[in-house]
Amino acid sequence: MPDDNRCGVLFDVDGTLVDTTYLHTVSWWEALRQAEHQVAMARIHRAIGMGSDKLLDHLLGPERDRDGDGKLRDSHDARYAEYWERLTPLPGAVELLRACAARGLRVVLATSAAEHEVAALRAALAAADDVIDAVTSSADAGESKPAPDILVAALDQSGLTAERVVFVGDSVWDVAAAGKLDIPCIGLTCGGTGRAELAGAGAVAVYDDPAALLDGLGDSAIATLD
């Protein structure tokens, strides 16, 4: 049941708090190449942030034979798993989570990562684990971003409402998902998407990375939460 007296911040994780965007790009590139799909890394990078089903539609076309999708996902997952022990928080990520909690805000990881990846992401953010109120995974969403399902799940799990949260993400797909619930979205360019593109998609403000948002926290949309 929603707690109308609490506010919070929903955070995307991949590319927003943990430096994984290009690891996913390379892992998908290798998986696609092995299956004899020649897709430029630049195109793959721009699709990161979608769920794997929509990513493959975006890259290979919605009319393709989907029989090989499971093998493609497994291939990506196996390659990406090789990086798990080396995943690194982006600058200021842990400190930003702790600063939000210190303001009395609920801190929610609204990630659409697969369940088997979430543990590795949380391990990278272990120094802030005690201030994280809820964590989602792809299993919580019927449809992947840019659909808003994962944000709906994050709200449900944290007892928050769309009117009393801000979302922080790094992709246009994050901004689009937030917009469907009228949630203000702060964009970060550390996932590789440019300032103008995030702002053009509807981000209420754009910062370089979590450290930059932390430096400007007092003047950000997060500071308006009470």
The residue from 4, 12, 65, 208 that is catalytic is 12
What tokens does 6 get? 């609490």
Instruction: Give 86's contacts (C-beta < 8 A, 6+ positions apart).
Output: none
Determine the Cα–Cα distance for residues 14 and 226; give it in Å rounded to an integer.
Answer: 27
Q: Which amino acid is at 153?
A: A
Integer CA distances (angstroms), 216 to 9, 96, 120, in order: 15, 11, 29
* Cis geometry, peptide bond prior to residue 146 (ω within 30 degrees of 0): yes
Q: Hey, is 159 helix, strand or coil?
A: coil
Known active-site residue 12: yes
**The residue to which tokens 């391990």 are assigned:** 123
Which residues are known catalytic residues? Answer: 12
